[in-house]
Structure 1
Amino acid sequence: MKRLLLMLCIAGLATPAFCASDVDKLDSRIDSARAVLDEIMSTPDKGIPDSIARKAVCIGVIPGMVKGAFIFGAEYGQGIVSCRTGHGWSGPVFIRMAGGSFGFQIGGQGTDLVLVATNQKGFQDLLQSKFKIGGDASAAAGPVGRDAQAAADASLRAELLTWSRARGLFAGVDLNGVSVTQNKEDTDKFYGGQHSFESILHGSVPPPDAARSFLETVRKYFHDAQEQ
């Protein structure tokens, strides 16, 4: 049913109010991701280390991961991912995350998550329609602050580095067992047409204006060495 309604929006056959309402929700999700990233990275000595940010291949933000009874107590959340291209950062794609019981580790409900792909293998994982952290993709809890050695060690041992923020505390978190799924419906809706995740994340599809503020925030904190 959702797929049918999406196709009607894309084809211009659904009511503008219905389609606009859905797009507004996606815009809000992107703005929430921007706010989470800005708040985390603007805290001196308590964000993602610069050495990791400079080398990041992709960045994912999942604002407000919650525990849902409808999936038997597992964690569930929706977020966005952008990847570095030859000319900046790509427009965002939408993802879903589900599974695991890490909420008990990091304070329970309403937890923000950040994922960083540290190499091309991590990027390729994100191009899959679904993959499991710790299974299909090696992952490790990310370091925090300016500990250069910890950052270097973390980058060597994992394709994905993962962090959480709950009750004001930002820390690395173990997300092994959590599944990441492409949210094609929301991505198509946001772009107003069908595009593959690969084409978007390679920078072949211009990002909508609603993504501008998020991408400016990513560029601000995830610049590379040549941009300093």
Structure 2
Amino acid sequence: MTWRTATSGVAVCAAALVAAGTGSGAAQNDDDTRRVAAATVVLNEMREAPDKAIPQSIYDNAEAIAIFPSVKKAGFIVGGQWGRGVISVREAQTRAWSSPAFLTLTGGSVGAQIGGTEIDLILVIMNRRGVERLLANEVKLGAEVSAAAGPVGRAAEASTDLQLRAEILSYSRSRGLFAGATVNGSAIKEDLDANRRFYGRPLSSEDIVFDRAGHAPASVTGLKAALNRTAAR
């Protein structure tokens, strides 16, 4: 599966949501499944990039990873953005990755590192405080939790103090190009409707990532396997 295949599938499913009728709930649930699949593709392709966009040391020290495929940019340099994604958190003792909880991202701007009207965005959360803040009902990056554009490739060795202190390191990809992404001003919120549809009952993001969700759909297997390949325990 390619990134374009995954994102085009999401677009098709999103169009189906416009239609009224008894099948709308099933269409939405399928859209959530496609969101997980698209996030898996983005993670795999970023990991396999020849320039090693996100340094392995960043992955290995991560406490959580949030992935937002196909974030829509409303403007270039100055402007808003909108996207939907998922987050997985490492269990403190075993370092195993959790089932994904669903998130939305709005406002702010990814800055001018790369162009394009759509980007893939990965947020690497580096400590437990950052995890707790991101799992709150809604959090603004740069205000309630510190975020910085992450170092790319060998640049990790020259990380600035700001990057080393940041609770979240952000990365973006557009048209095959990778860069650290400035996301300050963006708001991240729990997607409680998607959590409920996907897991079959009302659940908070904390319920899901801290293993209080019970049995997870089989479609999470690919994402959890990709996370285990990407970040060592």
- Scaled by the length of structure 2, the TM-score of the pair is 0.82
Distance 1:183 1:91, change over 3 A: same
Name which of 123, 137, 142 aligns with 2:131: 123
Q: 1:20 is matched with which residue? A: 26
Gaps of 5+ in 1: 1-13
**Pairing 1:105-184 to 2, within 5 Å after superposition:** 105-150=113-158, 153=161, 156-184=164-192
| Structure ranking higher on relative contact order (CA contacts 8 Å, 6+ apart) | 1
Q: 2:231 is matched with which residue? A: 222
What RMSD, in angstroms, separates the aligned Cα atoms of the two structures? 2.2
Deviation >4 Å, runs of 4+? 151-155
Give 1:154 deviation, angstroms.
Answer: 6.0
Name which of 59, 63, 75 aligns with 2:81: 75
Could you tell me whether the CA contact under 8 Å between 1:62 and 1:113 is conserved in 2?
yes
Q: 1:51 is matched with which residue? A: 57
Give 1:152 deviation, angstroms.
Answer: 8.2
Name which of 202, 211, 214 aligns with 2:220: 211
Give 1:67 deviation, angstroms.
Answer: 2.9
Which residue identity is paired with 2:65?
Answer: I
Name which of 19, 39, 42 aligns with 1:36: 42
**How many pairs are equivalent?**
208
Name which of 201, 213, 216 aligns with 1:193: 201
Could you tell me whether the CA contact under 8 Å between 1:93 and 1:187 is conserved in 2?
yes
Could you tell me whether the CA contact under 8 Å between 2:74 and 2:117 is conserved in 1?
no
2: CA distance between counterparts of 1:59 and 1:207?
A: 18
Higher helix share: 1
Helix, strand or coil at the partner of 1:115: strand
Of 147-156 and 200-209, the range deviating more from structure 2: 147-156
Q: Give deviations 1:176-216, integer Å, cap 9, x for gaps.
A: 11111111111111001112221211123243211111111
1: CA distance between counterparts of 2:31 and 2:219?
A: 11
